[in-house]
Amino acid sequence: MSASAAHQDDPYHLDPAAVQEAPTGWGQSLKHLGPGLILSASIVGSGELIATTTLGAKAGFALLWMVIFSTFVKVAVQVELARWTISTGQPALTGYNKLGPHVAGIGWINLLWALMALSKVLQMGGVIGGTAIAFSILLPLGGPPMEATSITIWTVIVALGSIALLWSNSYSLIEKGATALVVIFSLVTIAIALGLPFTPYAYGMDDLATGLALTIPVGAIGAAIAMFGITGVGADELTFYTYWCVEKGYARHVGPNDGSEAWKRRARGWIRVMYKDAFVSWCIYTFGTLAFFIMGAAVLNPQGLVPQGNEMITSLSRMYTDTLGEWAGILFLIGAIAVLGSTLWAAVPSWSRMYVNLFAVMGMLDWHDPAQRLRWIRGFTIGLPLVWGVAYLFVRSPVLMIQIGGAATGVFLLAAVVAVWHLRQTETDPAIRGGTVFNALLGVSSVAIVLLGAYTGLSVFGVV
């Protein structure tokens, strides 16, 4: 295939011949939604199943307000970064690298991103480990389900399976798989959470009111900080959302900015489609997050069960067996595999793209060469699951590994906010910026993220 032919199909190449008017209304826009579903697949996973449920088990209903706040407060920053991407056709790490100072050609925000990526090795290792444990309990191989042999075998199977399933890195495959995984487990989990009032673990309006009191119980601060970093849109997710917006075709349909009124009209139209996509995603992961938290608070907390180490899956299964009966244990294991698998399904191709983009801004490859970019992405599609699997086999504590990744994500949110405001002021066409209400929400979201991110950083270093 010639270079020109390759560019015709490359979503990262803004070809004037590929411009397309945006659909209007929800009915016409539905088939153009998708990046948010991949985002939801990542979010409705390790954060919700493990970190949020653990927080509910530890703090009871007291931190319900933090769950809602965590999912809501970051959306405006996510949308603003995606607005810049749609108008320029550039992914996040390309934008991050425009902020100095630089060290060996790498901007300080991308250096922080690299540090976060190292901590995410632990988080994603925890996801692979949690998935392997669920498989091992469901079908032990080589020994008892909770012993090293069976878990190790399943860890290898999960890592290799991820590579095989995601090797093609086809956007449509990733979107369809993410959608299926999210729908299956979200419906089951939300149904069970809504059914809790009819079981011995019923909760009432008094419990919900207590959870909205804006307090943090003693001993739950660390878990709350990790949850803020990992639930809702984290720094990694608002970053990789930009890649999926490009690959869905939003930026390509807008076309290169020629300053015309037609371009501004198309840009506003496709940004409205992105708004709808982000809204649907927010609804999915907010209800999913609330469901997991309520189950942890209503079922695990009264029994003093807090998911820890390799017993995490068995502790969490009590949410189902105690409310539906022993038969629900198998249902839970299948659901746990689906929800943790959804995180892997979204994370492997997303992190592969971000790593390759980082190496591209370092000058190690040409990001705008589609064939070369795909080769590098496939290389990381092989390498990342293997590294994550090895990390789990060394640490073997999924809850701790995921909470460490969540805390690091909270710190990086600070840098992401700085980048969003810089790109907004310097590169986003003023004609397509948000209105008064959105800008106010962006300001509030930014301040909240900065304050909580700063607190996270100070906590890490023992200052507070």
- Is 2 among the domain residues? no
Question: Which helix H or strand E contains 106, and what residues bound it?
Answer: strand 106-107
Residue 409 resides in a domain: yes
In a domain, residue 345? The reply is yes
* 453 domain-assigned: yes
pLDDT at 227 (0 to 100)? 63
* 4 within some domain: no
Domain tally, the chain: 1
Of 398 and 199, more confident: 199
* Range in 83-92, 99-108, 310-319 the model is least confident about: 310-319
Distance in angstroms (rounded) separating the CA atoms of residues 125 and 384: 10
> Residue 378: which pLDDT band, with cuts at 50, 70 and 90?
very high
pLDDT in tens, 395-451: 776 666 666 666 667 678 888 899 999 999 999 999 999 889 999 989 988 887 777
Q: Mean of the pLDDT values across residues 82-87?
A: 96
DSSP-derived secondary structure letter, 257? -
Residue 312 has pLDDT above 70, yes or no: no
Average pLDDT over residues 252-274: 95
Rounded to whole angstroms, the Cα distance separating 462 from 192 reads: 39
**Single-letter amino acid code for the residue at 80:** E
Question: Stretch 5-12: mean pLDDT, rounded?
Answer: 74
Among 41-50, 88-97, 108-117, 317-326, the least confident range: 317-326
Question: pLDDT > 90: what percent of the chain?
Answer: 43
Asked whether the predicted pLDDT for residue 387 surpasses 70, the reply is yes
Report which of 267, 247, 241, 245 is spatially closest to residue 255, judged by C-alpha positions: 267
pLDDT of residue 448: 77
Phi, psi of 412 (to 5 degrees): -70, -25
User: Is there a domain that residue 1 lies in?
Assistant: no
Residue 321 has pLDDT above 70, yes or no: no
**Phi, then psi, of 75 in degrees rounded to 5:** -60, -40
Beta bridge partners of 102: 107
What's the pLDDT tens digit per position in 132-178? 988 998 889 988 888 889 999 999 999 999 999 999 999 999 999 98
Instruction: Residue 421: give the domain boundaries.
Output: 9-460
As a whole number of angstroms, the distance between CA 340 and CA 110 comes to 27
Tokens for 79, please give them.
Answer: 């949308």
Does residue 267 carry a pLDDT above 50? yes
The segment with the largest mean pLDDT, out of 32-46, 226-240, 368-382, 445-459, is 368-382
pTM, entire model: 0.88
Distance CA 350, CA 171 (A): 11
Whole-number pLDDT of residue 241: 96
Residue whose structure tokens are 């803020």:
228
Per-residue pLDDT at 226: 60
Distances (CA, A) of 252 to 18, 98, 147, 192, 366: 6, 22, 50, 42, 19
Residue at 58 is within a domain? yes
Q: In whole angstroms, how large is the CA radius of gyration of the chain? A: 22
Task: Find the CATH number of the domain harbouring 31.
Answer: 1.20.1740.10
Separation in Å, CA 1 to CA 4, 5, 9, 171, 416: 8, 6, 11, 20, 38
Residue range 36-46: average pLDDT? 81
| pLDDT score of 1 | 47
Asked if residue 13 is part of any domain, the answer here is yes
